[in-house]
Amino acid sequence: MTMSNLGIVKRAIERANRAAVDQLSRYGVATVHEAMGRVGLMKPWMRPIYPGARLTGTAVTVLLQPGDNWMLHVAAEQLKDGDVVIAACTSDSDDGFFGELLATSFRARGGRGVVIDGGARDVAELTKMQFPVFSRAVSAKGTVKATLGSVNVPVVCAGALVHPGDVVVADDDGVVVVPAAIAQQVADAAEVRENNEADKRAKLASGVLGLDMYGMREPLAKAGLRYVD
C-alpha cells in the first residue's frame, strides 16, 4: 500500500552533527528538555532497565508490529557508529522484542543503545554488558518474525515524534528527542542553562530562597496569596 509507511527501509538518512551530539551527551534529559522549550519528551512510562543507564546518539528509527521483532534485525544493518535504535510499535505491546543477542549485534555495528516503546528481556545480561535500554516494560515473552514494519521512517515513540537522524538523550529521568536541525542550538542552550544552574545551586545551598532569587514575592501577592497564622 503506497499510502502507508509500512514495508520501507530508508538507507540514506541525515544524522545530526556529531559535535552537537557529543555536546548534548554532557547534559541530563531534564536540562535538554528545558533548553528545547519543554517539548520532545517521551512519556514517563519509558524507564531504564537498570538504574544509571545513560544514552546519547543519533536515531535509527524502527516501526514494529505487535509481538514481532523482524524489523530490529533489519535495522541492525542500517546502524552506524554512534546510532541509537528507537523502536515504536503500531499498537501497544509489552512483549520482549529486544534482548542480549540483538544488543550484541547492535553493539558490533556501532549501536550505543535502544529506546523501545515495548518490552525488553535479558535484563541481567544487558546490565552486565552495560548496554543501555529504555523500555515501557520488561518481559521474557519472545516475538515472531512474520510481518513487515519499517526502518528509518518518522515514528511516534512513546508520544514523541522521532525522525531518523534526530538526537536522542536518555537517562534516569526519561528520554528526550532533539530534531537534528536544531541539535547544536539546543546543545548551546543546554550549556547556558547548566552554567546558570551552578550559580543558583550555590545560592540555594547557602539558604537563599527561590522566592527571592526568582523574584516571586510580588507576582505571588498579585495573584492573591495570603499568609495566615
Name residues contacting a copy of itself, limited to 188-227 (CB under 8 A): 189, 197, 200-201, 204-211, 214, 216, 219-220, 223-227
Report in angstroms how near the CB of residue 190 gets to a copy of itself at its nearest: 11
CB 186 within 8 A of CB 56: no
Q: Pick from 5, 19, 22, 81 the residue near a copy of itself by CB under 8 A.
A: 5
Report the C-alpha gap between 142 and 121 in whole angstroms: 9
Report in angstroms how near the CB of residue 18 gets to a copy of itself at its nearest: 20
Give the count of residues interacting with a copy of itself (CB under 8 A): 107
CB 2 within 8 A of CB 169: no
Residue 222 is which amino acid?
Answer: K
Question: Which burial class, exposed, middle or buried, applies to 107 when counting CB atoms under 10 A from its CB (0-12, 13-18, 19+)?
Answer: middle
Q: Pick from 19, 26, 44, 130 the residue near a copy of itself by CB under 8 A.
A: 44
Report in angstroms how near the CB of residue 24 gets to a copy of itself at its nearest: 13
- Three cell numbers, residue 81: 557508529
Bridge partners for 63 per DSSP: 88, 150
Judged by CB under 8 A, the chain residues 90 through 129 that form the site for a copy of itself are 90-96, 99-102, 104-105, 107-109, 119, 121-125, 127
Decide if residue 17 touches a copy of itself (CB under 8 A): no
Report in angstroms how near the CB of residue 38 gets to a copy of itself at its nearest: 5
194: Cβ contacts below 8 Å, ≥ 6 apart? 26, 27, 31
